[in-house]
Structure 1
Amino acid sequence: MTDTLALLKQRRSVPPQFLAAPGPEGAQLDELLAIAARVPDHGKLVPWRLVVFEGAAREQAAEVVARVFRERNPQASDDQVEFERKRLLHAPVVVAVISRAREHVKIPLWEQELSAGAVCMTMLIGAYAMGYAGSWLTNWFAFDREVLAAFGLAEDERIAGFIHLGTPTAPITDRDRPVMAEIVTRYGA
């Protein structure tokens, strides 16, 4: 139990541009995805799914992002287009967590969406426990229907997050954390 608490106290997000190979792959990646799927899921609806971008598929996805960015921003410079193209190329593995929350007679959409968020966080914690680091991001293309369709999402599916995974290339630093007295209240006190 102490090891788990120590891990949770140390976990930090690492921006994708500071992640490099190696990243989780093969059986280790499969294990990480299985761990990420072990989240609270009221009604066992599995209101999420995963799309893995690795190897040449990252390049294909990056080209989709660059093309759509160019179409949406014809005035953009080549450097700006290249910046957008590289967003999915920094980390060796990127996993899109897809929310497929749907109306249900008993389970609210909000609970289903939170379950997808739990997948994202559990994947980050699992990656850190395996010796990797990561980042949970969305970016503009997570909300662009043309990009989402190219990535295989149905019209009623959304990106909960892109989880960028790899090995840190620089020391992991912490950020300022909330002052607990400012965010915690005790009911009835």
Structure 2
Amino acid sequence: MTDSTSKHSNALAFLLSRSSTDHLVEPAPDKAQIAAILSAGLRAPDHGKMRPWRYIVVKGKHRRPFAELVTRAMKSVDPDVPQKKIEKRLHRFSEMPMIIALGMHIEPGGKIPVIEQEMSAAAGVMNVLNALHAEGFGGFWVTGEFADDPEFLATIGLNPPDRLAGFLFVGTPERAVREARRPDISDYMAFWKSEPVSFGAES
């Protein structure tokens, strides 16, 4: 741990140590573990108690059929998709120890703006990633152009206006996760002092 993080509380230092990885092997969380981990997603801010989170867990023998649904959706969206890309997705979705489809139950005509419902769903995913890290597992958030395919969504149990925020690949890191190099926070924060701020990231 770097000197900059060693000054923080254990909890904050832990959060600062999280990095994504798709180098994942068995074991994945068991039934009780994944239920507890996904419960962290339900602790996300949720204006209006819209509860948009829908987590579809895929594991074991069901991974291959799910991967085949993915590739079918890819071909539906783009009939000219390269075969190499099809094979890569088929392999990844078949071999990951666990996949979580990140459903969003959205109410377009509800009392809360759609973007706030989407942000609550995304905040839930971040909580899940942190919970995976806390329990010794790894996660990787991916999406794809096929994720909006109506037939794919219906086949996994999501019907309009429900949508997908992507997928989490879940398992045990194959090796120690190298801490990703992060940008300097000084480029992404500013103190407002009664006049417009500027950010180093935009210079």
Q: Which residue of 2 aligns with 1:11?
A: 18
Contact kept, 8 Å, 1:19 with 1:90, in 2: the verdict is: no
Percent identical residues:
34
Q: How does 1:17-28 map to 2 (within 5 A)?
A: 18-28=23-33
In 2, the alpha carbon distance for the partners of 1:58 and 1:4 equals 34
Q: Which residue of 2 aligns with 1:83?
A: 88
In 2, the alpha carbon distance for the partners of 1:70 and 1:144 equals 10
Q: Which residue of 2 aligns with 1:142?
A: 147
Match of 2:43 among 38, 41, 49: 38
**DSSP-derived class of the 2:48 partner:** helix
**DSSP-derived class of the 1:107 partner:** coil
**DSSP-derived class of the 2:193 partner:** coil
Q: Which residue of 2 aligns with 1:130?
A: 135
Q: Out of 6-15 and 143-152, give the one that drifted further.
A: 143-152
In 2, the alpha carbon distance for the partners of 1:90 and 1:75 equals 21
AA aligned to 1:73 is P
**DSSP-derived class of the 1:23 partner:** coil
Deviations 1:62-108 (CA, angstroms, capped at 9, x unpaired): 0111233345335733x432212123233211111211221355321
Give ranges in structure 1 of 5+ residues lacking alignment.
none
Establish whether residue 161 from structure 1 lines up as the match of residue 187 from structure 2.
no
**DSSP-derived class of the 1:42 partner:** coil
Match of 2:97 among 69, 92, 98: 92
In 2, the alpha carbon distance for the partners of 1:109 and 1:10 equals 32
Establish whether residue 176 from structure 1 lines up as the match of residue 155 from structure 2.
no
**DSSP-derived class of the 1:43 partner:** coil
Task: Report deviation, 1:180.
Answer: 1.8
Q: Which residue of 1 aligns with 2:201?
A: none
Q: Would you identify which runs of 4 or more consecutive aligned residues in structure 1 move more than 6 Å?
A: none
Q: Out of 112-121 and 31-40, give the one that drifted further.
A: 31-40
In 1, the alpha carbon distance for the partners of 2:110 and 2:125 equals 26
Deviations 1:151-184 (CA, angstroms, capped at 9, x unpaired): 2210211111311111111331233312222211
Establish whether residue 102 from structure 1 lines up as the match of residue 107 from structure 2.
yes
Establish whether residue 2 from structure 1 lines up as the match of residue 5 from structure 2.
no
Give the length in aligned residue pairs.
Answer: 186
Q: Out of 82-91 and 158-167, give the one that drifted further.
A: 82-91
In 2, the alpha carbon distance for the partners of 1:123 and 1:34 equals 8
Task: Report deviation, 1:36.
Answer: 1.8
Over 3 Å counting, the alpha-carbon distance change for 1:154 and 1:128 in structure 2 is: same
Cα RMSD after superposing both structures? 2.0
**DSSP-derived class of the 1:167 partner:** strand
